[in-house]
Structure 1
Amino acid sequence: MVAPATNQVAAGFGIDNDVIIALTTSIFVLAYAVGPFFLGPMSEIYGRSRVLQLANLWYLAWNLGCGFAQNEAQLLAFRFLAGLGGSAPLSIGGGVLGDCWRAEERGQAVALYSLAPLLGPVIGPITGAWIAERSTWRWVFWSTSIVDAIVQLLGLFFLQETFAPLLLERKANKIRQSMDEEKVPYREVRTIYEGQDRSWQTIMAKSLVRPFALFAREPIVQVLGIYMAYLYGTLYLFLTTIPSIFEGVYGQPVGIAGLHYIALGVGLTGASQINARSLDKVYVYFKNKHGGVGKPEYRLPAMFPGTILLPIGILITGWATQAHAHWIAPDIGIALVGAGVILNFQCIQTYVVDTFTLYAASALAAVSCLRSLAGFGFPLFAPAMYSALGFGKGDTILAAAAIIIGCPAPWLFWHYGERIRNASPYAR
C-alpha cells in the first residue's frame, strides 16, 4: 500500500535519493528473509496458532508506529520491525496446510493460500493510491492497522492449533493427569514423535538450526529458493515501477495510475483459479497412472506454461512502454507476468510442502530467505537500470534471466527430483 505514497513520504521527509525512496517499500520485505527462520521453527515447538497470533500483534504495533514516524530513519526501522511480524504466515501458513490436508487434497488449499500474499500487493497499491491522493501517507498505515486489528480479533476465536506433535503431546499429558503416576501404564503414555530428550532447550536448538541446515544441505531448497527469489524479485520490481510507467510515461494522476495494478491482479487471480482447480486433479491423474503412488513431482506440470508466460509478459511490458503504445498493451504484459509468477509460485510452494510435510514450516522458511532478499533488492536497482537502459532493454535483460533460470527448473525436478529427495534426511 505504501508504494504509490512514496512520493508523499519523500516530500514530507525531504528524501531526494531514489534508493531510499524505494527502500521505504522494500525494507518490509527484507524482514521476510529473517523472520521465517525463527518463526517457522518456533511454530514447530509452541504450535502454529500461538506463534501466528503473537507475530501478528507484533506487526500491528510496529505498523501502527509507522503512521507516527517523524523522520525517515524511524519509518525505515518501524517498517523492518513490522515486517518481522508480518513474515509469520509465509512459513507457518504452509505448515498449517500440510497439517490439515492429505497430499491429494492439498493442492487447491495451497493454491488459494499462496494467492493471498501475491494478490495483497495488487489490492494494496490500488487502495494506497487513492488514500495518498485524498488524504496523507500516514493513513496508509493506520488503515491497514485497523483491518489487522479485526483480523486479530477473528484469530482469537477461530484460529485453532493444527500441529500434530503438539496436539498429541497435549492429549498425552491430559491422559497422564487422569492416571496414577505409580502405575506402569502412566509411563507408557507417549506420542510417536517423542524422543529420548524432550526438554525445550533441546527442541529449540534442533528446530532453530533446522531451516539453516535445510538451506545449506538440501539441493531442492537451494534451487527452488533461487528461482523463487527471481520470481519474487520480479514481482516487487513491477510493483514499484508501475507508478513510474503510468505516471511518468503516460502522464496519469496517482489514483488512475494505481488502477493498473488491476492488470497484475487479473493475471494472478485468473491463473491461480485455473491452477487451483487443476492442481489436485493432475496430481491424482499421475498418481493413478503410476500405480497409486503419489510424488511431489506431480505438482510441477503447471510450471511449464508458467516459465513461458513470464518472459513473454516481461518483454511485452517493456517494449510497449518504450514505444508509448496504448496503455492496454503494457497492461497485457503485466497480466502475463502475474500469471507466470503465480503458476510457478503455487507449484513450488506445494512441492515443498509435499516434500517436507512435518518440517514444511522450516523448509518454507529456508526457501523464503533468498526470495525475500530478492524482493528487497530488485526494486532498489530498478530506477538506475531503467534510467540507463530504458524499459525495453531493461525488461529484455529480465526476460533473458527468466528463461535461463526458470525454463530448465521444472524439467530438472520432473526427472531428477525423486533422486534428490531420496538423499534427504528431512524429506518425507
Structure 2
Amino acid sequence: MENHAKASSTIPENGDTVVGWSGPKDPENPFNWKTSKRWRVSILVCFMTFAVQINGTAMTSAAEVINEDFHITDEHFPHSYWPVLSWNLGGAAAPMLGLPLMESFGIRWSYLSIYLILIIFLIPQFLAQNFATLIITRIFTGGCTGVLANITSGVVSDIWRPGRSKSFSTSLWIFSLLAGLSLGPVFGSLTVRFASWRWIFLSEVIAYAIFLPFILFLLPETRPDVLLTQRARRIRRETGKTVYASAEKTHLTFKEVIRETLIRPSRMLVTEPVVLFFGLWSAFCIGTAFMFTQSIVQVYSGLYSWTYYGTGFVQAAIVVGELIGLTFSVIQDHLYFTSANRNRETPGSPIPEARLYLSIPASFLGLTAGLFIYAWTSYTTIHWIFPTIGLAFVGFGMSIIISAVSLYLLDMYGKFSASAIAGVAFLENALAAFLPLATQDMYRSLGFNWASSLLGFLALALSFIPVVLMIWGPSIRERSYFIKEAQYDDHEEDVVEAVA
C-alpha cells in the first residue's frame, strides 16, 4: 500500500501530455501536506478503526440475554457465537476484494460508501425478530468493518514517507484495531447492564451517524493516482488542453482486476513464506482475542461466579497491555532506525529484520508467558487479579507482534503490500471465525489450566518465526519474487526522482 508517486514534470506520452507532480515540493502531493493535516487524517482513520472494530465483539457480552430472547442454548454448542463467526467471515472475504479496489479507485468516496453500508446493515440488527437476521446481516457489517479497518494502513502509507511518523502511525492503527476488539465486550457489558441488548446495535448506529460528518469533512482523498487524475480533469476543464494522468491511460480489464484483487493475495499466501507464516502468527493473535470472548466467560464465571457483565469488563486488562505495547513501539522504532549504522547489505538503510527486534521478547515473554500465567493462576484459591495480569501480558504481546508484522510487510512488499495485507487479513478473520467455536469444548474437556496451556504451546511454537527471519532473512528475501520486484521498482523511482 505504499505511495509510489514521485515528483515528476509534466511530460509528453504518445502525443498526449501526462500530468505528474509539479516538483518534489508539490503541495498537493500527500507527502507534502502540512504535518498537522497528516496527523489529523492519521488520528481520524485510526479512531474510526477503533470505533468500527467494537461492532465485532460488543454483542458477546449480551450472549446470555440474546439466547433467552431467541430461545438459543449454548449447553452443547456455542450457538450464540454464530453472529460473531459470520462477522468474521465477512471480514475475511471483503478485504481481499475491497482493499485493492480502494487503492485503485480512491479512498475518500469508497470509504464513505462502505461506511454508509455499515450503518444501514446495523439497523436490522437492533430490530431483529429472529436469530437468523443477526447472523446474515453481520456478514455485511463484518465485511464493511474489515475493509474500513484495514485500509487505514494504506492511508498512512499514502501520506507519510518512510520514517518515525509513519512507523508510529502504523503502530497506532494496530493498537486501534486490537483495542476496538478488546473493548467491545466492555461497552457491551455497560449497555446490557442498564438497557436492552438491542441498544448495543442502536448505540452503534447513533455513534456512527454522529461520526459521519467528521469523515465527510475531514477525510481527504489520499491516493496519488486519484489526485493526479483530478488535477488532469481540472486542467482540461479550465484550459481545454488534452492532458491526462497516467491512471487515466491505463484501463484494466475485468480479468486484470480479478488478478489484482483476488488471485494475487491468494498466490502470495501460497508462494510467499513470509506472508504465510507472518499471517499465521498474526492470525493466532487475533484468533486468541476472539477466543477470550468465550474463555474469559467460562473461567471467571466458573471460578469466581461472575456474571456476563463482569466478565466483559475483565477484557479491559487486555487493552491495558495493548496500550503498553503502543508505548514500546517508540523504542522499537528507535532500534529499527539506528540499525542503519550496522547495515552491511545496504549501507545507510535500516536492516529490514530490525523491525522484529522487540517482537521476539514480546512473543516469548508477552504472548506465550501471558497465556501460561492465565492458565496456571486459574484456581479458585488464587485471586482473580493474577489471571487478569496474564491477560494484560497477552495484550502487550499481541500489540507488538501485529505491529511488527504489518510494518515489515509494508516495508518489504511495497506496491504489492495491499495484496500481502489482504492475504494476512483473510487468515486473521478466518481463524477468528472458527477457533472460538472450539473454545467451549476445549475448556470443558481439558480444564481451564491445560486448555490455556495448549494455546501457550502454540504461541511458543509461533514465536520462533521472527527468530528464523532474523537468522535467514536476507536469503529468504533474495528468493522472493514479490520482494525483489518491489525493491527494484522503488530503486527505479528513486532514480527518476533524482533526475527530475
- TM-score (structure 2 length as normaliser): 0.79
Alignment partner for residue 450 of structure 2, among 387, 393, 399? 393
Select between 257-266 and 69-78 the one with higher mean Cα deviation: 257-266
Alpha-carbon RMSD: 2.1
Give 2:207's aligned residue.
147
- Which runs of 5 or more residues in structure 2 are unaligned? 1-57, 488-500
- How much has 1:163 moved relative to structure 2? 1.5
Relative CO higher for 1 or 2, CA cutoff 8 Å, sep ≥ 6? 1
What are the within-5 Å matches in structure 2 for residues 13-412 of structure 1? 13-17=70-74, 18-105=77-164, 106-178=166-238, 186=242, 190-191=245-246, 197-199=250-252, 201=254, 204-208=257-261, 209-275=263-329, 277-290=330-343, 291-308=347-364, 309-322=366-379, 324-405=381-462, 407-412=463-468
In the alignment, the residues of structure 2 paired with residue 268 and residue 352 of structure 1 have an alpha-carbon distance, to the nearest angstrom, of 21
Deviation at 1:316, TM superposition (A): 1.1
Counterparts of 1:163 and 1:412 in 2: how far apart (Å)? 35
- Does the 8 Å CA contact 1:250/1:324 hold for their aligned counterparts? no
Distance 1:131 1:15, change over 3 A: same
Equivalent residues, number? 419
Cα offset, 1:371, TM superposition: 1.1
Call closer, same or farther: CA 1:100–1:415 in 2, change over 3 Å.
farther
In 2, Cα distance between equivalents of 1:232 and 1:87: 13
Whole-angstrom CA distance in 1 between matches of 2:255 and 2:310: 55
- Give distance in 2, aligned partners of 1:213 and 1:166: 27
Asked if the contact 1:267–1:337 (Cα under 8 Å) also holds between the matched residues in 2, the reply is yes
Q: CA deviation at 1:323?
A: 5.1
Report deviation, 1:135: 1.2
The alpha-carbon deviation at position 125 of structure 1 amounts to 1.0
Q: Percent identity?
A: 26
CA separation of 1:48 and 1:360: change in aligned 2, threshold 3 A: farther
Contact preservation (8 Å) 1:95, 1:358: no
CA–CA distance in structure 2, aligned partners of residues 417 and 95 of structure 1 = 25
How far did 1:58 drift? 1.2
| Contact 2:225-2:245 within 8 A present in 1 as well | no
- Secondary structure of 1:325's aligned partner: coil
Which stretch shifts more, 162-171 or 371-380?
A: 162-171
- Tell me the CA shift for residue 229 of structure 1: 1.5
Q: 1:161 to 1:288 in 2, by over 3 A?
A: farther
CA drift at 1:199:
4.3
Distance (whole Å) between structure 2 residues aligned to residue 39 and residue 350 of structure 1: 21
Alpha carbons of structure 1 residues 91 and 366: separation in structure 2 relative to 1, 3 Å: same
Mapped to 1, the partners of 2:135 and 2:64 lie a distance apart of 15
Superposed CA deviations along residues 225-278 of structure 1, whole A, max 9, x for unmatched, are 111111111111113322222223211233333221121111111122222x22
Deviation at 1:65, TM superposition (A): 1.5
Structure 2 counterpart of 1:88, which letter?
V
How big is the shift at 1:190? Answer: 4.7
Deviation at 1:124, TM superposition (A): 1.9
Q: Which secondary structure state, in structure 2, belongs to the residue aligned with residue 271 of structure 1?
A: helix
Residue 204 to residue 242, structure 1, CA distance change in 2 (3 Å):
same
Contact kept, 8 Å, 2:338 with 2:350, in 1: the verdict is no
TM-score by length of structure 1 reads 0.92
